[in-house]
Every structure is written in C-alpha cells, then in structure tokens.
C-alpha cells in the first residue's frame, strides 16, 4: 500500500453532508452548519483544513521534543481562519496560537516555535499549491 495520502469525498442524499474516507479505511463526516443549509453533522471544509494544520503542528512538535528528550508534557494548538473577517486584499489569514506545557527553557520554547513553522502542512499552505482537476468518465 502506498503512503501517498488519498481521500475520497462522497456526497449522496443529505444536502452538503460529505462522507470522507482515506486509503487506510478511516471514515469521517464533513457538513455545513444548519444556518448554512447543512445538517451540522460534522466540521465544515474550513474547519477540516484548520484541523490538518493543528494536528500536523502538534505531531511535529511532540516528535521533535521527544527526539531531543525535552520536557514537553503537552500542548494545545488553536487555529483560526480569517478571525477578523476576510482581509481587504482578498488574501486569507490563518492564525495559530500554540500553548506549550512542561518545564521548557526559553531557548527550547523558541526552537519549538521555529519547528512549528516548518511542519509539513505549514509548508504546504505557505508554498505553491497546484490542483489538477479532471472529471472521471461517466
């Protein structure tokens, strides 16, 4: 089996509800909130995007701290999409706030911030992304 991440999104029936399944058999649901016409059965697309960055940041920091044997006992990553509304220039803004727990030195905390800014999803979101879209044959 390939380690290349693949997700299939299927929408049948309920408006805006989407069942997602990855190539490893994990299944989850996305939906729009009720006020947007959805059923509120799961997070919306923006929340899913933010959750990817939050999870990647947390995993990257835990791995790095463990490799260095640093006393990182826990952490929290809060991520928000356009928290003050859509910027006037039309760009999007993601704000990330990281709370580190444990008896870390100021130097260790600063290094972990640098590492967070190099997590794989941070690099994807701040780099060039090309999306090739094609219709499957009927």
Residue 134 within any structural domain of the chain: no
pTM: 0.90
Residue 84, pLDDT score: 87
Looking at the structure, tell me whether residues 6 and 62 fall in a common domain: no
Residue pair 126/57 in contact (Cβ under 8 Å)? The answer is no
Looking at the structure, tell me whether residues 55 and 103 fall in a common domain: yes
d(CA 9, CA 30): 9
- Counting the structural domains of the chain, the total is 2
Residue 49, pLDDT score: 96
Residue 44, pLDDT score: 94
Closest CA to 61 of 103, 4, 109: 109
Instruction: Report the chain's mean pLDDT, rounded to a whole number.
Output: 94
Residue pair 20/9 in contact (Cβ under 8 Å)? The answer is yes
Residue 135 within any structural domain of the chain: no
Looking at the structure, tell me whether residues 25 and 56 fall in a common domain: no
28 pLDDT exceeds 90? yes
Residue 136 within any structural domain of the chain: no
What average pLDDT does the segment 2-29 reach?
92
How many Cα neighbours within 13 Å face the side chain of 16? 15
Q: CA distances (Å), 83 to each of 29, 33, 68, 107, 116, in order? A: 24, 18, 34, 29, 20
Q: Which domain holds residue 105?
A: 44-129
Residue 1, pLDDT score: 52
pLDDT digits (tens, 9 = 90+) for 106-137: 999 999 999 999 999 999 999 999 999 999 99
Looking at the structure, tell me whether residues 112 and 64 fall in a common domain: yes
pLDDT digits (tens, 9 = 90+) for 62-95: 999 999 999 999 999 999 999 888 888 988 999 9
Residue 88, pLDDT score: 86
Looking at the structure, tell me whether residues 62 and 123 fall in a common domain: yes
């Amino acid at each position: 089996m390939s380690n290349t991440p693949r997700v299939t999104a299927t929408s049948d029936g309920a408006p805006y509800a989407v069942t997602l399944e990855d190539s490893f058999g994990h299944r989850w649901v996305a939906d729009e909130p009720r006020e947007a016409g959805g059923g509120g059965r799961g997070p919306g697309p923006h929340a899913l995007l933010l959750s990817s960055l939050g999870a990647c940041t947390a995993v990257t920091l835990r791995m790095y701290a463990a490799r260095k044997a640093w006393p990182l006992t826990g952490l929290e990553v809060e991520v928000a999409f356009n928290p003050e509304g859509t910027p006037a220039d039309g760009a999007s803004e993601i704000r990330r706030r990281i709370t580190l727990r444990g008896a870390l030195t100021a130097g260790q905390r600063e290094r972990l911030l640098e590492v967070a800014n190099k997590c794989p999803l941070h690099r994807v979101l701040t780099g060039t992304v090309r999306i090739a879209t094609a219709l499957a044959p009927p």
